[in-house]
Every structure is written in C-alpha cells, then in structure tokens.
C-alpha cells in the first residue's frame, strides 16, 4: 500500500538514491525506520519497484474469481 514518501542516504539494498512510497517495496523495507527521511532526496528519482507495485492492476481480469485475500474497500 501507499505510504509516506521517504528516502535514505543509506539506500538500504538499493543501488542508487531514490525515494519510496510503497510498503511492499523490498528496497524500501530494507531501510530501517530510523534511517528513513521524509521527502524525495537530492535526486528526486522514484524507486522502480515502488513504481511497479503502484502500477499493478487492482481489478481482476474477467473470468477470475475475486481474490479472497484482498480486503474489501
């Protein structure tokens, strides 16, 4: 899910300075809560994983049963 935008000079397991805003991002999650700084950092570049997680379709294709694990809105 979407979380407050943060970045870290320590990068976690990431290779470059990017900002994160998704709670499922493996790179964002590798950064300790105490090392997370609010904002988008000096590069202003968004994490590719967060982008991917954000663009994931939320509506199931026709013919598929609803995901029982997905919480109801």
- Spatial contact of 37 and 7, defined as CB atoms under 8 Å apart: yes
50, 58, 63, 65: residue in contact with Zn ion (rule CB under 5 A): 50
25, 42, 54, 55: residue in contact with Zn ion (rule CB under 5 A): 25
Burial pattern 21-41, b for ≥16 Cβ within 10 A else e, equals bbeebebbeebeeeebeeebb
Residue 49 binds Zn ion, judged by CB under 5 A: yes
Q: Provide the minimum distance between the beta carbon of 21 and Zn ion in the complex, in angstroms, as a whole number.
A: 7
The footprint of Zn ion (CB under 5 A) covers 20, 25, 27-28, 47, 49-50
């Amino acid at each position: 899910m979407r979380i407050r935008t943060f970045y870290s000079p320590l990068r976690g397991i990431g290779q470059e300075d990017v900002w994160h805003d998704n709670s499922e991002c493996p790179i964002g999650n590798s950064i300790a809560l105490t090392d997370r700084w609010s904002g988008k950092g000096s590069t202003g570049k968004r994490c590719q994983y967060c982008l991917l997680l954000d663009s994931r379709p939320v509506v199931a294709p026709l013919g598929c049963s609803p995901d029982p694990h997905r919480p109801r809105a």
